[in-house]
Amino acid sequence: MTTTAPGRFGVYGGRYVPETLMANLIALEAAFEDARRDAAFLAEFQSTLAHFVGRPTPLYHAQRLSQVYGGQVYLKREDLTHTGAHKINNAVGQALLAKRLGKRRIVAETGAGQHGVATAAACARLGLECIVYMGALDCERQRPNVERMRLLGATVKPCDAGSRNLKVAINEAIRDWIANPDSTHYLIGSVVGPHPYPLMVREFQRVIGDEARAQFTRVAPRPDAVIACVGGGSNAMGIFAGFVDDPQVELFGVEAGGDGATTAATLNTGRPGVLHGALSYLLQDAEGQVLNTHSVAAGLDYPGVGPEHSFFKDTGRARYETVSDTEALAAFKETCALEGIIPAIESSHAVAFARRLLANRPGLRVIVNLSGRGDKDLPGLLAKGLV
């Protein structure tokens, strides 16, 4: 993993925040660097991953998808973690770090709700106050996760402004953090935001890639390709971390192509700009105003992306493709029917691209990061007649 300067991935990253937050970010960076070298902290983190989260997750050979797609498809089963998605890995790591810093109040943002549920669960375990900001639109389409967060003791605050989605939830969480810097830790759920968040979240999520690489060696020395969906990009960066230093493994990030009229394909259609404290690719108009986005997947409905993904795009280390709502829904149904697995609609974008890749290059061995389970999506999809 290459950085050209502290907090930078090439030109991307940095800290573009109000001065009131700089001291907190500097203290957080120091605490993280200290903790990642502290044997006691790492032991507690690993123990929590094993006994609370349920790691390691399996690397599953999807034999029926493989037959239909024309290659060998392996699913990294992050849907089998406690709370049902990869988000719990980072939530546990940051909650332990907040406790180490003496911060007893946690604020978080969530889109699909999985990060909110993971944060609520981690806070319940550690006895921390938890406030989760969520776009009002996402509250409607992810109602089961709203109820799960409340059951776990979190206060859920719907955000009615603007697009009523993840971007607005992040705005509100940042406002809360600015107002309460001394008592509060902002537990960001993706590889976005000001330094040290993109680095820190990647390092807490790299357990996915480290496990997948070790597991795949029982099959062959390496896969041909690793595929993951990208909104902010934490699940992708987590699994990429295990393979990025092997140039023989292709890395594919899959963005939300949306409905054709509106997308959330930041790396494919955006340009560099600053959003939520970091320089990265951004969907914006000619005047630099952030554009509205759309995806059937709430967790991909975001106009920015992690700065390290922007670096990977520019250097060519990863390729970023788009998958439409229609393709993702088809892959969702296919995975259910062929494998008996209900994937998150976010993850279904990655499955859909695996089908496309193998249609063009049959016989490849690919790992798809199944970043979460789709129970949360069913009520909204059924209500709209999409499944």
Q: Tokens representing 20?
A: 């009131």
Is 313 an annotated catalytic residue? no
Three state DSSP letters for the chain: CCCCECCEECCEECCCCCHHHHHHHHHHHHHHHHHCCCHHHHHHHHHHHHHHHCCCCCEEECHHHHHHHCCEEEEEEHHHCCCCECHHHHHHHHHHHHHHHCCCEEEEEECCCHHHHHHHHHHHHHCCEEEEEEEHHHHHHCHHHHHHHHHCCCEEEEECCCCCCHHHHHHHHHHHHHHCCCCEEECCCCCCCCCCHHHHHHHHHCHHHHHHHHHHCCCCCCCCEEEEECCCCHHHHHHHCCCCCCCCCEEEEEEEEECCCCCCCHHHHCEEEEECCEEEEECECCCCCECCCCCCCHHHCCCCCCHHHHHHHHHCCEEEEEEEHHHHHHHHHHHHHHHCCCECHHHHHHHHHHHHHHHHCCCCEEEEEECEECHHHHHHHHHCCCC
Catalytic site residue from 29, 109, 321, 327: 109
Catalytic site residue from 211, 310, 371, 376: 371
Rounded to whole angstroms, the Cα distance separating 15 from 25 reads: 9
Is 371 an annotated catalytic residue? yes
Rounded to whole angstroms, the Cα distance separating 310 from 108 reads: 24
Q: Supply angle C-alpha 52, 237, 305, rounded to 5.
A: 115
Catalytic site residue from 87, 103, 167, 313: 87
Rounded to whole angstroms, the Cα distance separating 229 from 71 reads: 19
Rounded to whole angstroms, the Cα distance separating 335 from 345 reads: 11
* Bridge-based pairing state of the strands 155-159 and 129-135: parallel
Residues carrying an active site annotation: 87, 109, 371
